[in-house]
Structure 1
Amino acid sequence: MTKKIAVSVPDDVAERLAQEPNVSAFVTESVRQRMAGERTRHTLRQVGFRLSDGGLADAGHALDEAQAKITPELRARAAALLSESSRGRLTRD
């Protein structure tokens, strides 16, 4: 079941949404991603993690920095290692 609603958004968001062929699907997926993040944070808090907005922002920056260091060569090597390990033929370099 679906429900039609009207929302007001800032101009920059409206411009971005205008680029989408299916605004409803785009908004639905975006909200579902937000909901998944909220559930994850709730679960982490329930099991004892102490989360703060600053800590989450720091972790996000650290993740971005780490991902920026992944070169095509490193990605290829990781894929090769994964393939070798899944076939049971992993050797140490």
Structure 2
Amino acid sequence: MTKKIAISVPDDVAERLAEEPNVSAFITDSVRQRMAGERTRRALRQVGFRLSEEGLAKAGRTLDEAQARITPDLRAEAAALLSESSRGRLTVRD
């Protein structure tokens, strides 16, 4: 079941949405990702993790920095290792 709603968004968001062939699907996916993140944070809090906006922002920056260091060569090597391991042919390297 679906429900039609009208929303107001800032100009920059409207411009981004204008690029999407299916705005409803894009927004639905985005909201569902947000909901999944909220469920994850709630579950982590329930088992004792104390999450702060500052800590989450720092973790996000650390992840961005790590991803920026992934070179095309490193990505290709990782893909090759994954392929080898999925076929049971992985050899241990020094």
Q: TM-score, normalised by structure 1?
A: 0.91
What is the alpha-carbon distance in structure 1 between the residues aligned to residue 77 and residue 52 of structure 2? 35
Alignment match, 2:31: 31
State which drifts further: 10-19 or 67-76. Answer: 10-19
Query: Post-superposition shift, 1:41?
Result: 0.8
Structure 1 runs (4+) deviating above 6 angstroms are none
Query: Post-superposition shift, 1:57?
Result: 0.3
Listed as ranges, the matches of 1:9-24 within 5 Å are 9-24=9-24
Alignment match, 2:86: 86
Query: Post-superposition shift, 1:78?
Result: 1.2
Query: What amino acid sits opposite 2:55 in the alignment?
Result: G
Q: Deviations over 1:30-52 (max 9, x none)?
A: 11111111111111111111100
Structure 2, unaligned runs of 5 or more: none
Structure 1, unaligned runs of 5 or more: none
Instruction: Please give the secondary structure, in 1, of the residue aligned with 2:7.
Output: coil
Query: Post-superposition shift, 1:88?
Result: 2.3
Identity fraction in percent = 83
Equivalent pairs, count:
93
Q: TM-score, normalised by structure 2?
A: 0.90
What is the alpha-carbon distance in structure 2 between the residues aligned to residue 52 and residue 4 of structure 1? 35
What is the alpha-carbon distance in structure 2 between the residues aligned to residue 14 and residue 82 of structure 1? 40
Query: Post-superposition shift, 1:77?
Result: 1.1
What is the alpha-carbon distance in structure 1 between the residues aligned to residue 48 and residue 57 of structure 2? 19
